[in-house]
Structure 1
Amino acid sequence: METTRQQKIAKQIQKDAADIFQKEGAQIVRGALVTVTAVRVSPDFSYAKIYVSIFPFEQSDEVMQRLEHQNWFIRRALGQRLRNQLKNVPEIQFFLDDSLEYIENIDRALKED
C-alpha cells in the first residue's frame, strides 16, 4: 500500500512528465500522442515506474525506444521540476499501458456483431 507522500509524489511526477512530453518532448514523441496514465513510486523514492499510453498504437514500439533512449533528458527535466520536493530524482522506467488498445479492440469486436 502506498503512503500519502508516495501518492503525492507520483501525482506530481505524472503531471510533470505529461508536461514534459507536451512542451519539451516533441522531438522524442515525433507526432505521437503520449499520455501518462499512471506512476508508481518505490517506498524510498529511488525508482519510479511511468506507464504511458501511445496513440497511434502502431508507433508504440518506436516511441518506447525513443523514451528509453532519452531517459536521461526526461529525468533531468523532472529533476528541475521536483527539486523542491525531492532530494534525489528517482530512476525512471517506462512501461506501455495498452489498456486503451484493449478497450478499442473490444469496441471493434462488439460493433462487428
Structure 2
Amino acid sequence: MITHEIKGYAFNSLNLYQLKSIMESKRQQKYSKLIQKEIGEIFQKEAKHLLGSTFVTISGVSMSPDLGVAKIYLSFLLDKDKVMFEKINEKKSEIRKHLGNRIGKSVRIVPELALFLDDSASYAQHMDKVISSLDIPEAPEEDEETED
C-alpha cells in the first residue's frame, strides 16, 4: 500500500475516499466540489497538450481539514492509464498554477494537489469476474409435503 505525506498529513490511496461525505465538513465538501469542477475544466480546456486525446475523469476530490491539501482521484478510459497518470503527476505544479488563476480570488490558499489513480472500476470488474467464476452448488429444492 502506497503512503503519501504532504504538509504533515499521512494518507494512502485508499484513504477514506468512500467515506468523505461522512467525514468532511460542509466547507470541505464545498471546496471539494469547486476543485473537482475547476480541475475538470482545466483538463478540458487548458491542459489539452498534456492529455492529448485521453479521456480523464475526476472521480472524486477530498480536502484536508485546513483546506491545504486536495486529494484528487483520477480514472482513465485507457489501458495505459499508469503512463498517463505519471505524466499528469509530473505536471501537477502546472495544473495547480492554472487552478490558482481560476480560484485564487475566492480562496485564501490554493491547495497542494495529491493525485491518485482511482482503480475502483477495474476492481469492480475484477470482483465481478471472481464472483461469476465461483462454483456455487444449487440449493436443494425442498419437497412440499401435502398432508391428507
Q: TM-score, normalised by structure 2?
A: 0.68
Figure out how many residues of one structure are paired with residues of the other and give that number. 111
Aligned to 1:40: 62
Q: Give distance in 2, aligned partners of 1:24 and 1:104.
A: 32
CA contact (8 A) 1:50 1:92 kept: yes
Q: Give distance in 2, aligned partners of 1:3 and 1:95.
A: 22
Aligned to 1:53: 75
SS in 1 for 2:83: helix
SS in 2 for 1:10: helix
Percent sequence identity is 38
Q: Which runs of 5+ in 2 are unaligned?
A: 1-22, 133-148
Q: Give distance in 1, aligned partners of 2:86 and 2:75.
A: 14
State the superposition RMSD in angstroms. 1.9
Q: Taking CA–CA contacts closer than 8 Å with sequence separation of 6 or more, which of the two structures ends up with the larger relative contact order? A: 1
AA matched with 1:41: M
Q: 1:64 aligns with which of 73, 85, 89?
A: 85
Q: 1:14 aligns with which of 17, 22, 36?
A: 36
Q: TM-score, normalised by structure 1?
A: 0.87
Q: Which runs of 5+ in 1 are unaligned?
A: none
Q: Give distance in 1, aligned partners of 2:92 and 2:70.
A: 12
AA matched with 1:22: Q
Tell me how far 1:42 sits from its aligned partner.
0.5
Larger-gyration structure (1/2): 2
Instruction: Looking at secondary structure, tell me which structure has more helix per residue.
Output: 1
